[in-house]
Structure 1
Amino acid sequence: MNLASLCRLLALAALWGGSFLFMRIAAPAWGAVPTAFVRVVLGAAGLLALLALVRLRPAFGGKLGAALVLGAINSGVPFLMFALAAQVLPAGYSAILNATTPLMGVVIGALAFGERITPARVGGVLLGMAGVAVLAQAGPVALTAPVVGGIAACLLATACYGLAGFLTRRWITQRGGLDSRLVALGSQWGAVLALAPFALWEAARQPVATWLQAGPTVWGAMLALGLLCTSFAYVLYFRLIADVGPVKALTVTFLIPLFGVAWGWLVLGEVATLAHAAGGVLIALALWLVLWPAASPAPAPTPSAAGR
C-alpha cells in the first residue's frame, strides 16, 4: 500500500470512527430518528452534488429498486440502530461493536447463502463474541437494561451490514454491476425513504421547529456526520477499493475502534479502560482470523499466465 492509499485509509478510519462521536453528541439532543434521518438526507444530498460535479448521469440500468432496498438494509436500519445506541452507550463502545461486521457476515453467509465456513472463521466468530462479552461485562458503563439494549442495537446494525454485502453481490454484482457511486447514491435515497415514515411520526410528536432550535454544536455534529462521515467517506472508501482492492480496504475495520475510543476520550472525556483494550484486541484477533486469506497451493503455471 503506497503512502497516498495509507493516508486515505487513516482518513477514512478517522471519519468513520468520528461518526460515533457525532452521533453521541446529536442523538441525546435530537433523538434517534431525527439524527438518523437528517444524516441520510445530508448524505444523499452530498452524493447527488458529487455526481453533478463529476457529471455522472444517474442511469441505474434497472437496478434502482435493488439499490433503494439495499439502502434501507445497509444505511437506514444501521444508522437508526447506532443512533439509538448513542443515547446510552459511549462512542467507544459503539465503535468497537461496529467491528463485528465481518463476523456477522461469516455467520449470515454460512446460514443463508451457502458460504463455506472454515475452522479459522468459527474461531473468529467465537473470539468476537468473547470480545463483546468482555466489553459488556468489564467496561466502564454499568450493565443496565438500556445498555444491553444499546449493545443489541449495535449488533443488529452490524448484522444488517453483513447481510447487505451478500445482497449487493446477488442483486448488483451478479446482474452486471453498477458504478459504485450510483450504488452509494441509490442506497442513501433508499435509506431516506425507509426512515421518512418514522421521521414524520417523530415530527408529529416533536415539531420540526424544535430540531431547528438545536445549538451550533449539535448542528455541527450533524453536518459532519452527513457530509464528512457519509458522503465524503464513501468517496474515500470507493477510491481505496479501486486502488488497493476490497480485502485491504477492509482493514479500515481494525482502525475504526481505535479512532472511536480516541475521539470519545479527547472530545467527550469518556473513560478509556483496560476493558476497551481487551475487548478491542479480541475483536481485532477475530477479524484477523476472518479476513486473512486461507493458504492454498500455488497453481501450476500455464502459458497464458506465464506471459502476464
Structure 2
Amino acid sequence: MKPADWFAFVLLSALWGASFLFIRVAAPAFGPAFLMDVRVWLAGLSMLLFTTLTGKRISFRGRVKSLLLLGALNAGVPFTLIAAAELEIPASLTAMIIGTTPMLTAVAASLLGEEEMTFGKTVALLAGLAGVGVLVGWTPIPLTFDSLLAAGVAFLAACCYALGGIYVSRKFQGVPALTMAIGQQLGAGVILLPLALFRLPRAAPPAEAVWALLALTFFSTVLAYLCYFRLIRNAGPTTTLSVNFLIPVFSLVGGVLWLGETVGWGTWVGLALVSLSLMFVTKSEDGGRRKSGTEKRALLR
C-alpha cells in the first residue's frame, strides 16, 4: 500500500475502535435505540448528501426490502445491542467480543453451505470461543448476572454481523459499496424508528453525550466509510478486513486512557486468543473464499 493507504488503514482502525468509546459515553444519556437511530439517520443522510455533491449516482430501486433487512442485520440490531451491552460492561471488553465477528462469519458460512469448514476455521472457532471465555471469566469487573447478560448481548451482536455478512454476499452481488452503505444506514433508521420513539430520553442529554453522538456519527461512521471505500479500492478486501486486528487494541487503549477502564491479565490473554482466531480466518479466507463474497463481507461496521 501507498503511505496514504496505510494512513487510511490505521485511521479506519482507530475510528471504528473509538466508536465503542463514544457509545459508552452517549448510551446512558440517550438510550441504546434512540442513540443508534439518530446515528444511522444522520450518517445515512450525510453520505447521501456527499454522493449528490460529488455527482455519484446510487439507486435503491428494487432493493428496498433487501436494504431494510440488511439495515436490521448489519446495523440497527447489532448497533443497539452493543449500546445496551455497554451500559453494563466496558467499551474495551465489548470491542473484543465483537472482534469475534470474522470467526462467526466463517462458521455461519460453513453451516449455511457457503464455504467449507477448514482446519484453519476450526482452530479459529476454538480460539475465538476460548478468548471470549477468558475475557468474560477473568475480567476485572465484578461478574454479576447483568454483566454476564451484557457480554451475551455483545456476542449476539457479533452473530448479527456474521449473518449480515452472509446476507450481503448472497443478495448484493454487483451492488456498489456506497449504495449498500447508504441503504444500510437508512434501512436501519426506518427499522429502529418505532423503538426509538417509544424510548425517548427522559432528560436533556449532557453536552458530553451530544459530542460523543456527533463523533460517533461523523467520525466513526461517515469518515470511517470513506476510508473503507478507499482501502477496498486500493488495497483489496482481505487487507481491509485486517483492520479487525487493530480495532480492539484502539478501543482498549482508549478505554484505559479516556474512560479510566481497568484491564487485567485475562484481558490480554483473551485479546490474544481473539486475534489468533482472526488470523486463522483471514489466512483461510485469503486462500479460498470467493472474491465476490469477500469484498462484501468487509462491510461490518
Q: How many residues align?
A: 287
Q: Aligned residues: percent identity?
A: 37
Runs (4+) off by over 6 Å = none
CA deviations 1:170-218 (Å, max 9, x no partner) are 1111xxx122111100000110011011012113xx55xx3xx212111
| Unpaired segments ≥5 residues, structure 1 | 297-308
CA deviations 1:51-75 (Å, max 9, x no partner) are 1221223323522331222111100
- The equivalent of 1:266 in structure 2 is 257
For residue 282 of structure 2, what is the amino acid of its counterpart? L
Decide which of 274, 277, 280 is 1:289's aligned counterpart. 280
1:70–1:187 contact (8 Å) kept in structure 2? yes
1:60–1:178 contact (8 Å) kept in structure 2? no
Name the CA distance, whole Å, in 2 between partners of 1:94 and 1:148: 12
For residue 253 of structure 1, what is the amino acid of its counterpart? N
Residues 1:218 and 2:226 aligned together: no
Name the CA distance, whole Å, in 1 between partners of 2:47 and 2:68: 14
What is the TM-score with the length of structure 1 in the denominator? 0.89
Residues 1:169 and 2:166 aligned together: no
Decide which of 175, 178, 181 is 1:178's aligned counterpart. 175
Name the CA distance, whole Å, in 2 between partners of 1:113 and 1:66: 21
Decide which of 226, 231, 238 is 1:240's aligned counterpart. 231
- The equivalent of 2:128 in structure 1 is 128
Name the CA distance, whole Å, in 1 between partners of 2:254 and 2:207: 19
How far did residue 42 of structure 1 move?
1.7
Tell which deviates more after alignment, 191-200 or 43-52: 43-52
Counterpart secondary structure, 1:292: helix
How far did residue 91 of structure 1 move?
0.9
Residues 1:159 and 2:159 aligned together: yes
Name the CA distance, whole Å, in 1 between partners of 2:223 and 2:58: 18
Name the CA distance, whole Å, in 2 between partners of 1:153 and 1:141: 17
How far did residue 2 of structure 1 move?
2.4
How far did residue 246 of structure 1 move?
0.6
Residues 1-308 of structure 1: pairs in structure 2 closer than 5 A: 1-173=1-173, 177-203=174-200, 206=201, 210=203, 213-293=204-284
2:34–2:197 contact (8 Å) kept in structure 1? no
2:121–2:284 contact (8 Å) kept in structure 1? no
2:70–2:184 contact (8 Å) kept in structure 1? yes
How far did residue 219 of structure 1 move?
0.5
How far did residue 260 of structure 1 move?
0.3
Are residues 49 and 178 of structure 1, via their aligned partners in 2, closer, same or farther at CA, if it must alter by over 3 Å?
A: same
What is the TM-score with the length of structure 2 in the denominator? 0.91
CA deviations 1:108-154 (Å, max 9, x no partner) are 11112342010111011000000000011111111211111111111
RMSD, aligned α-carbons: 1.5
How far did residue 292 of structure 1 move?
0.4
1:12–1:252 contact (8 Å) kept in structure 2? yes
1:74–1:164 contact (8 Å) kept in structure 2? yes
